[in-house]
Every structure is written in C-alpha cells, then in structure tokens.
Amino acid sequence: MRPLDIASRMNLNAGSFIVTLYGDAVVPREGPLWTGNIIEICERVGISETLVRTAVSRLVASGRLEGERHGRRSYYGLTQAARREFDDAARRIYGLEEGAAADWVIAAEGDAEMLSGYGFAHLGSGTFIASETAAARARSTLGAALSAKLVFRAELEHSGHAGALREFGKAHWPLKQLEAEYATFINLFGALTCPEASEWDAVALRLLLVHAFRKAALKDPALPAEALDGEWIGTKAREKFTILYAALSRAVEPFLDAQLRGPEGLLTVDRVIVEQRIGGI
C-alpha cells in the first residue's frame, strides 16, 4: 500500500503532521531541520510546499518552532517548551512508561482543564481521579502537587461485582471515543504487513503510522486492565503499531541519518533514543 493511499484516508492537517515529523524523526537528531527536508517529506503524503510553509509559520507563532537562517536556507528547531511537550508525548506513543499500575491517585481542588489532559476524570466537587501511570505523566510536567491543593494515593479495597471497575471506567472516561480512535488506526493499518517499500515510502509510512496512532495514544488514560473490557482494542492497536514501527525502522533510520540536514550538515542521531523507542514498543 502506498503512503498516498493511506494519507488520502486520513484528512491530514499540515501543522499536525509536521508535529509528528519532528516528534518521530527530528527529536532523536538534535538541531534545527532544513526546510527543504520538511517540504520533501510532506510531499510524500500529499502536503504541498505552500501548506508546509504556512504551517511552519504558524508553529513558530505558537511557540513550538524557532527558526534561523543561514545564507539562502532556513532551518527550524523545537523550542525548549515544545521539547518538554514532545518528550512527554514520546513516552506515551512509544511505550516508554511503566505498565498501568493498580493504584489510583486522587487530586482535590485541581485545575480541571489541565488534569483532564493527563487522563484524570472529574468525580465532582473539584475532585479528580487517575491511574498511577497517568498521574506519573502529569507529575513530569506539573510537579508533585499536580496543580491541586491535595493529592492522595488510593487502592481499590472492594468491588461490588466482577465488572464494577469496568463500569466505573466507562462512566468516568470517554472510552467509547477512545475505542473509535483505535478502531480508525486499525482500519488504516490493520491489513498492512511488514511492507517492502522504497526508502522514501518507508519514511512516509512510518510517519503516517505514528500520526494515526498518537491521536489515540495521547488520549489514553492508561487505566489498569481490570477497568477495561477483556478484548480492549487499544491492546490490539499497540501490538500492530509495535510490529510495523520496528519493521519500518530497519530501512527508515539509516535513510534519515543520510538525509536530514541542519546548518552544520547532516543531523547527528542519538542512537540511545532510537533504540529506546524501538525497544520500548
């Protein structure tokens, strides 16, 4: 299957796809990226040069990218604030977190908008609950206080019946919406096996894979297995992502090493980050 065939079914937004490009391909290679590389990669998924330049300008205006010019060439790198955001996203996408823990964290009188973005569910009266894994994500950005007045760690002591925790999960987290996101990912990539593709097509396919998967992964509240249906679709989606990402990376990583350029020449890859991602998933 060609990248353009998949991209045509994804309603790609140029800015969002460029965010995926930086998160997957540029973060492991420190330094600003040449605009020509961005344009060439985006062209492989049907995004025009005009859309790329407009999207990059908007990413600069929003504080995610910062640019520099060397002669006639422009280069764009992540801001420090964006790098923290991308590091957090990478832990979720590439499976670099610990497995979902059985413990729960309760935050009282917290910032609703901020906590909900990290997988906390509102129980009412300014009280929020999340799995320990989701709370750990929040601590990495918000600090130990989680932007709340009080923070408690709790254990499930009693369940009225076998499905009570699953009912609690469905009642407090948008799991139906999340299931639909994962189903969309499987619909796009479920029939794709370890593809034989040109190097450029492999790059485009891996970026599309990450782009589709991250839409669900970044919304996943990392609930323990007991709070999810036995055949949880997120597990199947991650298994597919794992297989395809590793298979594509065999061709993608050496090719990116030889293609992505900064002001001083080819960007230098941090092999530890690359191996952690492939190993993590």
Could you tell me the CATH number of the domain that includes residue 10? 1.10.10.10
206 and 69 part of one domain: yes
What pairing do the DSSP bridges indicate for beta strands 29-30 and 268-269?
A: antiparallel
46 and 114 part of one domain: no
Position 51 in a domain: yes
91 and 115 part of one domain: no
Position 37 in a domain: yes
Position 166 in a domain: no
Position 162 in a domain: no
131 and 270 part of one domain: no
pLDDT per residue as tens digits for the range 113-156:
889 888 999 999 899 999 998 998 888 777 877 878 888 988 88
181 and 274 part of one domain: yes
Phi, psi values for residue 135, rounded to 5°: -65, -35
Position 165 in a domain: no
Number of domains present in the structure of the chain: 2
Residue 135 is part of which domain span?
Answer: 104-155
- Under 8 Å CB-to-CB from 21, ≥6 apart: which residues? 38, 41, 42, 207
Position 187 in a domain: yes
190 and 241 part of one domain: yes
80 and 188 part of one domain: yes
Average the pLDDT over each of 74-78, 111-115, 205-209, 210-214 and give the range with the smallest value.
Answer: 111-115
Position 114 in a domain: yes
Global confidence as pTM: 0.91
Q: What does the DSSP 8-state code read for residue 97?
A: S
Position 169 in a domain: no
142 and 86 part of one domain: no
Q: Does residue 120 contact residue 130 with C-beta atoms inside 8 Å?
A: yes
Looking at residue 84, what is its pLDDT? 87
Residue 218 to residue 202: CA distance in whole angstroms: 24
133 and 185 part of one domain: no
pLDDT per residue as tens digits for the range 8-60:
999 999 999 999 999 999 999 988 999 999 999 999 999 999 999 999 999 99
Asked if residue 280 has pLDDT above 70, the reply is no
50 and 28 part of one domain: yes
18 and 145 part of one domain: no
191 and 272 part of one domain: yes
